[in-house]
């Protein structure tokens, strides 16, 4: 166990999150008591102890919902119970009056962080926290019903967010199943609930003219959202991969952006060459955080948020209908293919694990195709720039309206 110090509120708040995974601060006064800090900045009190020869970890609750004083008292009481020969968690894991935020944090740390890939765990944490934590902050597990779940998912559908409703249903279903497995609940309130909407395979690929309109509108919006959108179009990478860019991932001298395995959807690090325009965008972005290229407003340790509002503003400016940010990835791939880029180079740019690189082919073909990717991305940038110039010329040529 690392060096210990007496935990204080100031020490907990000032502790910097790790680049990936989790780190801990351990208290010098209570054995095994400490704070676990995630790469997203979440802080949770934990207690490590041994019961009947087996190591145990107890997540006491999330800071600051659970105060330091209360967490210290819980840890002290738990060790007293342990000295009496009982497991301090025995009562906790069978009581359904556990608060939802406490159970959710235990779900993240004991299941998601252990069983899921880093990107999947992070997305589950983000979705569950954003969708359920505020509404159920003071609710116990036993008090949550089917109607409570439906109030959340139906509300998302009413706001025109069916995809968000489907993802919320999926994550919540897994959470409640975990609660039943751990003995926190006798039955899941979602046991008989079907997904609120059926999953749709989108096939929308924006034309080059539409991409030019979106790109030009994003250029006018500027940093941060406009730059994120421009990089989505130029690189074809995923929304979370672009918005979560860390300065440490760039080798600007070699013009390469390396997405680490922990942030990649397929769990495989991805070295992407940066064509001139993308490279220039990254070089000229403001450094508002020592860590992230797109930090959240008012929180340099978190990444960009406010997607819905920014997307609505972009739609109003671009006047392109029926598209999502993920469609930009498909559109870029389609555009590269139309320029004659071979399918296996497109797949390498997108960091696809399937297709040409699936199965045995992916195991034995380790050639990275860096030069080919750089050439393809350069050709794509040139085509996009030409389309933007055509759009701007045609707008200048339009007669003024009274």
Q: Write the CATH number for 14.
A: 3.30.160.390
3-state secondary structure of 105: helix
For residues 141 and 42, state if they share a domain. Answer: no
For residues 261 and 213, state if they share a domain. Answer: yes
For residues 236 and 278, state if they share a domain. Answer: yes
For residues 213 and 342, state if they share a domain. Answer: yes
Answer with the one of 181, 216, 239 that is the final residue of a domain: 181
For residues 212 and 135, state if they share a domain. Answer: no
Between CA 342 and CA 389 the distance in angstroms is: 26
Q: What is the CATH number of the domain that holds 252?
A: 1.10.443.10
3-state secondary structure the chain: CCCEECCCHHHHHHCCCCCCCEEEEEECCCCCEEEEEECCCCEEEEEEEEECCEEEEEEEEEECCCCHHHHHHHHHHHHHHHHCCCCCCCCHHHCCCCEHHHHHHHHHHHHHHHHCCHHHHHHHHHHHHHHHHCCCCCCEHHHCCHHHHHHHHHHHHHCCCHHHHHHHHHHHHHHHHHHHHCCCCCCCCCCCCCCCCCCCCCCCCCCHHHHHHHHHHHHHHCCCHHHHHHHHHHHCCCHHHHHCCEHHHEECCCCEEEECHHHCCCCCCEEEECCHHHHHHHHHCCCCCCCECCEECCEEEEECCCHHHHHHHHHHHHCCCCCCCCHHHHHHHHHHHHCCCCHHHHHHHHCCCCHHHCHHHHHHCCCCCHHHHHHHHHHHHHHHHHHHHHHHHHHHHCCCCC
For residues 363 and 214, state if they share a domain. Answer: yes
Between CA 130 and CA 145 the distance in angstroms is: 19
For residues 331 and 270, state if they share a domain. Answer: yes
Tell me what pLDDT residue 246 has.
Answer: 95
- Examine residue 95 and state whether it is found in any structural domain, yes or no: no
Domain count, the chain: 3
For residues 54 and 121, state if they share a domain. Answer: no
- Examine residue 361 and state whether it is found in any structural domain, yes or no: yes
The residue segments making up the domain with residue 77 are 4-90
Answer with the one of 59, 90, 121 that is the final residue of a domain: 90
For residues 164 and 295, state if they share a domain. Answer: no
pTM beyond 0.75: no
Give me the half-sphere count of Cα atoms (radius 13 Å) on the Cβ side of residue 111.
Answer: 17
For residues 336 and 223, state if they share a domain. Answer: yes
Q: Which residues, other chains included, contact 171 with Cβ-Cβ below 8 Å and sequence gap of 6+?
A: 124, 127, 128, 131
Do the Cβ atoms of 387 and 208 come closer than 8 Å? yes
For residues 158 and 249, state if they share a domain. Answer: no
Tell me what pLDDT residue 402 has.
Answer: 39
Tell me what pLDDT residue 10 has.
Answer: 93
- Examine residue 199 and state whether it is found in any structural domain, yes or no: no
For residues 240 and 291, state if they share a domain. Answer: yes
Per-residue tens of pLDDT for the chain, all 402 residues:
556 888 999 999 999 888 877 889 999 999 999 999 988 888 999 999 988 887 788 888 889 888 999 999 999 999 998 998 888 886 544 455 678 988 999 899 888 888 887 778 888 888 899 899 888 988 888 889 999 999 999 999 888 888 888 989 999 999 999 988 888 888 899 988 898 877 566 678 999 999 999 999 999 999 999 999 999 999 999 999 999 999 999 999 999 999 998 888 877 899 999 999 999 999 999 999 999 999 998 888 888 988 889 999 999 999 999 899 999 999 999 999 999 999 999 999 999 865 554 443 444 444 578 999 999 999 999 999 999 999 988 877 666 543
- Examine residue 115 and state whether it is found in any structural domain, yes or no: yes
């Amino acid at each position: 166990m690392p060096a210990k110090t007496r935990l204080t509120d100031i020490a907990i708040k000032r502790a910097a999150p790790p680049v990936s995974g989790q780190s801990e601060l351990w208290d010098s006064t209570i054995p095994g008591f400490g704070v676990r800090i995630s790469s997203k900045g979440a802080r949770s009190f934990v207690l490590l102890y041994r019961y009947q020869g087996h190591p145990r970890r107890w997540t006491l609750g999330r800071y600051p919902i659970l105060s330091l004083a209360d967490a210290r008292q819980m840890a002290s009481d738990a060790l007293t119970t342990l000295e009496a020969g009982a497991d301090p968690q025995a009562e906790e894991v069978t009581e359904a009056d556990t608060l939802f935020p406490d159970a959710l944090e235990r779900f993240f740390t004991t299941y998601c962080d252990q069983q899921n890939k880093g990107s999947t765990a992070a997305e589950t944490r983000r979705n569950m926290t954003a969708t359920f934590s505020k509404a159920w902050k003071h609710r116990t597990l036993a008090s949550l019903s089917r109607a409570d779940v439906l109030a959340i998912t139906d509300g998302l559908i009413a706001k025109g967010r069916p995809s968000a409703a489907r993802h919320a249903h999926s994550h919540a279903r897994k959470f409640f199943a975990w609660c039943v497995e751990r003995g926190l609940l006798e039955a899941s309130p979602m046991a008989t609930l079907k997904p609120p909407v059926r999953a749709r395979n989108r096939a929308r690929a924006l034309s080059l003219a539409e991409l030019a309109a979106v790109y030009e509108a994003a250029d006018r919006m500027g940093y941060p959202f406009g730059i994120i959108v421009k990089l989505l179009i130029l690189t074809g990478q995923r929304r979370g991969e672009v918005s979560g860019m860390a300065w440490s991932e760039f080798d600007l001298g070699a013009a390469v952006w390396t997405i680490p395995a922990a942030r990649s959807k397929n769990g495989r690090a991805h070295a992407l060459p940066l064509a001139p325009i993308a490279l220039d965008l990254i070089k000229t972005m403001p450094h508002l955080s020592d860590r992230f290229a797109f930090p959240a407003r008012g929180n340099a340790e978190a990444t960009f948020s406010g997607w819905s509002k920014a997307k609505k503003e972009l739609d109003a400016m671009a006047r392109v209908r029926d598209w999502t940010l993920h469609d930009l990835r498909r559109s870029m791939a389609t555009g590269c293919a139309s320029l004659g880029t071979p399918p296996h180079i497109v797949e390498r740019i997108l960091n696809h694990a399937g297709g040409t690189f699936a199965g045995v082919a992916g195991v034995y073909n380790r050639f990275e195709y860096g030069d080919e990717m750089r050439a393809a991305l350069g050709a794509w940038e040139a085509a996009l720039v030409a389309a933007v110039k055509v759009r701007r010329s045609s707008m200048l040529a339009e007669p003024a309206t009274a």
